[in-house]
Amino acid sequence: MPILYLTEADVGRVLTMELALDAVGAAFRKLALEEAVNNPRQRCQTDHVMLHVLPAAAKTLGALGFKAYTVAKSGEAKFQVTLFDPKHGGISAVIEADLLGQFRTGAATGVATKKLARADASTVGLFGTGKQARTQLLAVCKVRPIKKAHVYGRDAERRKTFAAQLAQETGVEVIPVDRPEEAAQGLDIVITATTSREPVLLGEWVSEGQHLNVVGSNFLAKTETDVEVFRRTQVVSADSKEQAKLEAGDFVEPVKAGVLQWADVLEFAPLLVGRYPGRESPQDVTLFKSLGLGIQDIALAAKVVELAKQQGLGRELL
């Protein structure tokens, strides 16, 4: 069986946020229907490089495979998704997956925001000015009538450049702010997409009716939120509760303090399809903890491969 190989450039020719939102939404619904399997991320390492592997399968999406990525001590990261024929086995495609991962992470936030944020939410606060932060804002602008976004990052010049780029991409007023609280106070949706090991979002800045997307940390030793955030939150959900117990550093201190109970953390997939109530009033504060799931990667990769084949992109490996 020939194997289709797609480069980042190939992926970029077919990948859109609309495609990512559809694929990631479908992945969550398949999990809720027990028509998909998602295994938590596995890690191993040498002295210089850590390997991360996220396997998943969804027969009704025609998807079976895994994302694997390496992160070197230098910080350099390389990403690939490998897909297998879901009926006969054998590798069917290998996809360079840096851009794909950015879009699937943004799309997960978009799906969660569409479900949990107030319908009239029109303002966003964004912590972070990197590649992941970009797709977070792109996704949220697709699911809510966003008019204004405040962006905070530690580097003033970088946040200014980022704001200008995202204003052009989204058609939304994007304002670089000098103080972190300006990316949270009084805004409808707040997103943390940073590499910080210490809280960047403080509970004292959280107000009634907000929806919070906490995205940056997937290690127990890292958190973007303080305990007070959870004291002010009525609905806490995670893309995978099983994976959250292994990786959600944001939950560690709230659980230790007795502010958060694991029994109160809602699995997002069944919440999405209505098995849990989610937001029950405009005053509720809701929170979505995104860790990043293999099922999201392979569901989106399968769609990308389908479109790439239609357009004659990529090359075959024998």
Overall average pLDDT of the 292-306 stretch:
98
Return the half-sphere exposure (C-beta side, CA atoms, 13 A cut-off) of residue 310.
Answer: 9
Half-sphere exposure of 106 (CA within 13 A, CB side): 27
pLDDT tens-place string over residues 146-198: 999 999 999 999 999 999 999 999 999 999 999 999 999 999 999 999 999 99
pLDDT value at residue 318: 74
Q: What is the CA radius of gyration of the chain?
A: 19
Distance CA 32, CA 45 (A): 33
pLDDT at 290 over 80: yes
* Averaged pLDDT score across all residues of the chain: 97
Share of the chain above pLDDT 90, in %: 98
pLDDT, position 187: 98
Mean pLDDT to the nearest integer, 21-42: 97
Euclidean distance between CA atoms 298 and 214, whole angstroms: 22
The CA distances from residue 88 to 1, 2, 182, 196, 228, in Å, are 10, 13, 54, 43, 51
Specify the amino acid at residue 263. A
Residue 154 CB partners (closer than 8 Å, separation 6+): none
Predicted local distance difference test score (pLDDT) of residue 1: 77
Say what the pLDDT of residue 262 is.
98
Let me know how long the chain is: 318
pLDDT at position 197, please?
95
Per-residue b or e along 135-161, where b marks 16 or more CB atoms closer than 10 Å to that residue's CB: bbbbbbbbbbebeebbbbbeeeeebee
Residue 236 has pLDDT above 80, yes or no: yes
Q: Write out pLDDT tens, residues 125-143.
A: 999 999 999 999 999 999 9
**What pLDDT score does 5 carry?**
98
b/e per residue 78-89 (b: at least 16 CB within 10 A): ebbbbbbebeee
Question: Domains in the chain, ordered, with CATH?
Answer: 3-101+295-317 (3.30.1780.10), 118-292 (3.40.50.720)
- pLDDT, tens digit (0-9, with 9 covering 90-100), for 59-118: 899 999 999 999 999 999 999 999 999 999 999 999 999 999 999 999 999 999 999 999
Q: Are the C-beta atoms of residues 159 and 182 closer than 8 Å to each other?
A: no
Tell me the two tokens of residue 286.
């809701």
| Residue 41 confidence (pLDDT) above 80 | yes
